[in-house]
Structure 1
Amino acid sequence: MAGDALSDLLKTVRLTGATFFDIEGHDPWAVHSPAPASILPKVLPGADHLISYHVVTAGHCFARIIGDEPIPMEAGEVVVFTRSDPHIMSSHPDLRADPPTTDVLDIATAGRMPFYINCAGGGSRSVRLVCGYLACDALPFNPLLEALPPAIKAGDARSDGGWLGQFIRLAVSEVAEKRAGSETVLTKLSELMFVDVLRRYVESLPPQQTGWLAGLRDPHLGKALALIHDRPAYNWTVEALARESALSRTVLAERFTKIVGMPPMHYLAKWRMQIASQLLSAGNSNVASVAAEIGYESEAAFSRAFKKMIGVPPSAWRLGVRTGAGSGSDEASETEG
């Protein structure tokens, strides 16, 4: 059941692949990826969060968030920068790189994927990378992003088994052959690759880890989260969730708050508003129908709760107004719904 909550979240926050690069590096080389604010408007306008990734298909290199320690990378490994912090990929850990000009992004977004970049340093080829960006919604509530570290490294340089190995083979094939539909294949492959990296990260978490992903791994909390995601409009109480999750009311409330980071009813309220924001943004439902779909008995009660938590009324959010989002109270009264 825990996997259902993860899948549901990824659908609700609209995870999507955006841009795909084929990079060949000849020593010495270094490539700088700028801040998300300069990339998002060009690769996926309308999204509010950017994730970047780099898969080493041949050779070796280093990945480094500006100001952090370098991460050594070998063929068969992937690094995902979950916040797309400015970072450098390079042949040596101490190499610097100038941020790319806007012309590079303009050319990339105007052309056909994958975009080939030859980092010619004058020496022999030391690496081949397939890189790209994923975008998703961070507002009003994306517990996954809050649970992830800035960088995740996954894979096994000694083996091409598993999904990452398959991703590399398929990506290399699509890059080389450029068949019809390759852009769609590459973007979907990147989404699947990210999900596999998330699975590997969850499996590697230490027992004492807290956060949303740690909650998914806990059999009882995973059940409670899956129930909330599966039936958000249901009139859940802590007692009902505890009964379905095979825990006492007190134990569920304490464990949920300690590991997930908020009480169960608070999580339910925030998840309802995430669903509501997505439905409103889609523009296919009016405020009253959205209120009913997430479990509110009246449009007025829903509108009050939405504005209290999100910072803007539902009607404003539907029109694309985000000013004030996240500035409202984190609490939304579930007794009104």
Structure 2
Amino acid sequence: MTKTTLNYAETTDLVINKCVFSDIMKSMRVSGNMLINEEYLPPWSVSIPDASGLERLLKLDKGTQAVAFHYVKRGFIEVVPEVGELIMVEAGEMAICFGGVAHQLSQYPEKKSVSVESILIDGNNPFAPNEKNRVRSTSVMCGVFMLKNVELNPLLAALPKILHVSTKKFDISSNLTNILGWIDREISQTVQCTYVIERLLELLCAEVLRAHLYQLTTSSGWFYAMKDPIISRAISMIHAQPGDEWSVNRLAGGVAMSPSRFAARFNAALGDSPMAYVTKWRMNLAGRMLRESQQKVEEVAISVGYENVAAFSRTFKRHLGVSPAAWRVRLNYV
């Protein structure tokens, strides 16, 4: 069959979304840690530090980003960010703080917040209900996703600062509900398995992001582009062969569209030109290779499509702020 835009619109949408989504999820090396699984009687308020504060609290490796999340099992909570609007999170809903902003969790707060650090150090619940008033308490489960290779990640860049997701509204809600139930049971065990918890949190992060993909109603951004069969096909080509000699003409040919129409459609969806997307994804990959392998800078440059090492180094520094060599030193890889 001759390739046409209509062919792609009819046949490639779901397959391409899965391919690119999986590629980016794998690149982030997601793991996690649980912080709270408690019942709180109002009035109460718990403060959560920003991403850098969480990273220090949990003593995370350099280059690992902490993303706080909160799930309400019963009742409701108010998530009050240091910057931005209050979000009401009800039973069966989650708030995930991808923007890394400091925030408070509360219900009718009357006193100064208790820091999550003091709760973790003391090991006590300062807002615990008794048997008589337990029916008025809120049950909440909080943790942290730990992400690597976040620089120039198109998926993360497209997320709101606080993502609000329900486990009730989507076809994949049963997955979210099941995973959260497994996590709840595992952390309630007398002897917990850290490996199991980390893998469950990896699954939870992926399902949360898929839920966002399903609920999205906006007409621009990376998640919207994943629903566009033409743009998602082009992005899939880039991710499959990032080191190829890509051009607007070649990408447009791959989706059976004129270069001008393709470039306009790509830019309208992502707010970036096709070649800007290519460059950013290459630099994301290069940063990952420098972090996780012992490849020489010259080898990394060739892997992401640069025969000229000087040109690669200039592009890397322009996007990531330091040279490839300095990047390795900063992450203690020399």
TM (norm. structure 1) is 0.82
Per the alignment, do residues 161 and 257 of structure 1 end up closer, same or farther by CA in structure 2, a change over 3 Å counting? closer
Structure 1 position 236 matched with structure 2 position 246: yes
**Contact 2:248/2:275, CA 8 A, preserved across alignment:** yes
Gaps of 5+ in 1: 109-114, 323-337
User: How many residues of Structure 1 are paired with residues of Structure 2 in the alignment?
Assistant: 312
Aligned to 1:176: 188
Aligned to 2:66: 50
Question: Displacement, 1:17?
Answer: 1.5
Aligned to 2:27: 12
Aligned to 1:88: 104
Q: State the alpha-carbon separation in 2 of the partners of residues 54 and 250 from structure 1.
A: 44
**Contact 1:280/1:287, CA 8 A, preserved across alignment:** yes
Q: State the alpha-carbon separation in 2 of the partners of residues 268 and 50 from structure 1.
A: 27
- More divergent stretch after superposition (63-72 vs 80-89): 63-72
**Contact 2:57/2:117, CA 8 A, preserved across alignment:** no
Q: Residues 124-172 of structure 1, C-alpha deviation per residue, up to 9 Å, x if partnerless? A: 3512222111132475412222211122222246999511210222122
Structure 1 position 40 matched with structure 2 position 40: no
Q: Report SS of the residue matched to 1:82.
A: coil
Per the alignment, do residues 141 and 95 of structure 1 end up closer, same or farther by CA in structure 2, a change over 3 Å counting? farther
Question: Displacement, 1:45?
Answer: 2.9
Q: Report SS of the residue matched to 2:137.
A: strand
Aligned partner (choices 313, 316, 320) of residue 323 of structure 2:
313
Per the alignment, do residues 95 and 244 of structure 1 end up closer, same or farther by CA in structure 2, a change over 3 Å counting? farther
Q: State the alpha-carbon separation in 2 of the partners of residues 164 and 31 from structure 1.
A: 25
Per the alignment, do residues 91 and 148 of structure 1 end up closer, same or farther by CA in structure 2, a change over 3 Å counting? same
Structure 1 position 264 matched with structure 2 position 274: yes
Matching residue's letter, 2:72: V
Question: Displacement, 1:303?
Answer: 2.3
Question: Displacement, 1:304?
Answer: 3.2
Per the alignment, do residues 294 and 236 of structure 1 end up closer, same or farther by CA in structure 2, a change over 3 Å counting? same
Aligned positions of 1:61-140 closer than 5 A: 61-66=77-82, 68-92=84-108, 97-98=112-113, 100=115, 102-104=117-119, 107=121, 117=125, 119-120=127-128, 123-124=133-134, 126-137=137-148, 140=151
Per the alignment, do residues 233 and 37 of structure 1 end up closer, same or farther by CA in structure 2, a change over 3 Å counting? same
Q: State the alpha-carbon separation in 1 of the partners of residues 116 and 176 from structure 2.
A: 31
Per the alignment, do residues 166 and 294 of structure 1 end up closer, same or farther by CA in structure 2, a change over 3 Å counting? same
Matching residue's letter, 1:146: A
Hey, which bits of structure 1, 4+ residues long, moved more than 6 A?
A: none
Matching residue's letter, 2:18: G
Q: State the alpha-carbon separation in 2 of the partners of residues 127 and 25 from structure 1.
A: 5
Q: State the alpha-carbon separation in 2 of the partners of residues 158 and 292 from structure 1.
A: 45
Per the alignment, do residues 227 and 306 of structure 1 end up closer, same or farther by CA in structure 2, a change over 3 Å counting? same
Aligned to 2:313: 303
Q: State the alpha-carbon separation in 2 of the partners of residues 46 and 53 from structure 1.
A: 21
Aligned positions of 1:212-227 closer than 5 A: 212-227=222-237
**Contact 1:52/1:83, CA 8 A, preserved across alignment:** no
Q: State the alpha-carbon separation in 1 of the partners of residues 67 and 149 from structure 2.
A: 11
Q: State the alpha-carbon separation in 2 of the partners of residues 31 and 286 from structure 1.
A: 46
- More divergent stretch after superposition (281-290 vs 263-272): 281-290
Per the alignment, do residues 245 and 73 of structure 1 end up closer, same or farther by CA in structure 2, a change over 3 Å counting? same
**Contact 1:33/1:88, CA 8 A, preserved across alignment:** yes
**Contact 2:62/2:331, CA 8 A, preserved across alignment:** no
**Contact 2:46/2:116, CA 8 A, preserved across alignment:** no
Q: Report SS of the residue matched to 1:57.
A: strand
**Identical-pair percentage:** 29
Per the alignment, do residues 155 and 204 of structure 1 end up closer, same or farther by CA in structure 2, a change over 3 Å counting? same
Q: State the alpha-carbon separation in 1 of the partners of residues 205 and 111 from structure 2.
A: 27
Aligned to 1:187: 198
Q: Report SS of the residue matched to 1:209.
A: coil
Structure 1 position 155 matched with structure 2 position 171: no
Aligned to 1:27: 42
**Contact 1:279/1:290, CA 8 A, preserved across alignment:** yes
Question: Displacement, 1:287?
Answer: 0.8
Q: Residues 259-288 of structure 1, C-alpha deviation per residue, up to 9 Å, x if partnerless? A: 111111111011111111111112421111
Structure 1 position 274 matched with structure 2 position 290: no
Q: State the alpha-carbon separation in 1 of the partners of residues 110 and 235 from structure 2.
A: 44
Per the alignment, do residues 264 and 96 of structure 1 end up closer, same or farther by CA in structure 2, a change over 3 Å counting? farther
Aligned partner (choices 247, 251, 267) of residue 257 of structure 2:
247
Q: Report SS of the residue matched to 2:47.
A: strand
Q: State the alpha-carbon separation in 2 of the partners of residues 260 and 300 from structure 1.
A: 29
Q: State the alpha-carbon separation in 2 of the partners of residues 116 and 129 from structure 1.
A: 15
Per the alignment, do residues 250 and 319 of structure 1 end up closer, same or farther by CA in structure 2, a change over 3 Å counting? same
Aligned to 2:221: 211
Per the alignment, do residues 248 and 139 of structure 1 end up closer, same or farther by CA in structure 2, a change over 3 Å counting? same
**Contact 1:75/1:157, CA 8 A, preserved across alignment:** no
Aligned to 1:329: none
Q: CA RMSD in A?
A: 2.8
Q: State the alpha-carbon separation in 2 of the partners of residues 202 and 129 from structure 1.
A: 25
**Contact 1:22/1:117, CA 8 A, preserved across alignment:** no
